[in-house]
Amino acid sequence: MANDLTDNTQTIAFKPLRLESEKLKHATGTAFKHAQLTDVSGKTQAFDQVDFSYSLITRGYFHQATFKQCNFTGTRFIDCNFRNANFDECNFSYSDFSGCRIETDEILKNLPERPNVRRELLQILRKNALSMGDVSAGRAFVVAELAAKKEHLRRAWMQDEAYYKRKYKGFRKRASVLIQRIGLWLDGFLWGHGEKLWNLPISALVILAVFSLISSLVWASQIADPSVSQLTTVFKSYMVYYVSLFLDAPYEESLNHIVVIDWIVVIFRYVSLGILVSGLFRWLSHR
């Protein structure tokens, strides 16, 4: 009886397709699900609605190949070459890339719809691009990853889907999401997540203008019926003062200072300097 059970188990055992050193011809609907493809070639071939899900493709060469509506869910690519390959409506959810060359624009057109899954894929693609020395592609994946994170946090905050209602239920989790959203927005506003250093002087001027407006309104509250021209003049004076304080430059006019704002501007100066040095270091190190 035990032998019969053993024989039956061996009969129904799953054996994945194994191909080695073969050329994959034009295919439509051919299933390579759970397949192990090693040293295969698909150069200039067309693959239409082919199921590659959960397969392992090692050292595949697909130069100028075309993939249309193919399923790469959970597929692992190792040392593959997809140079000049085209992808159209393909599913790369939970895929993994290691040492692969793949067109940045093509893979960005085929990202998963769910933002959390999209973000995980972009993290893998960024690591893969940097390992291949493609810094520009790595930066493109960073920007797309941040966009996916923003969308993920937005959905978590709005809870317009059952998944987010279940995962982010309760005040503490929603508060955490809100803090992350605010932090991400500030990071983008101040220096573009490290990718747009020119944001730093613009954001600094905006913040100093806000401080100048607050100080001007405090001054106006102490004056009986101030005119618009007076308020404008005082605002300009405070703006010059805070810019001088931010740059650690001398300022000779006397103004009523708000000590708390002065301290914030000084702290903001050193924080901005640290951000600038960090951003320049990243930029120069990738040249």
| CATH number of the domain bearing residue 133 | 2.160.20
181 is a domain residue: no
Same domain as 205, residue 149? no
Percent of the chain surpassing pLDDT 70: 91
Q: Domain count of the chain?
A: 2
- Report residue 223: phi and psi, to 5°: -115, 140
Compute the distance between CA of residue 273 and CA of residue 232 in angstroms, rounded to an integer.
30
Determine, yes or no, domain membership for 194. no
At 7, the pLDDT band (50, 70, 90 cuts) reads very low
pTM of the model: 0.70
From first CA to last CA, the distance across the chain in angstroms is 70
Residue-range definition of the domain harbouring residue 252? 199-285
CB 53, CB 71: distance < 8 Å: yes
- Of the ranges 135-144, 220-229, 274-283, which one carries the lowest mean pLDDT score? 274-283
Q: Does any domain span residue 21?
A: yes
The answer to whether residues 42 and 82 touch, using CB atoms and an 8 Å cutoff, is: no
Question: Residue 245 domain-assigned?
Answer: yes
pLDDT at residue 112 above 80? yes
Q: Are residues 118 and 215 in the same domain?
A: no
- Look at residue 286 and tell me whether its pLDDT is greater than 70: no
Average pLDDT of the chain, as a whole number: 85
Query: What's residue 54's pLDDT?
Result: 94
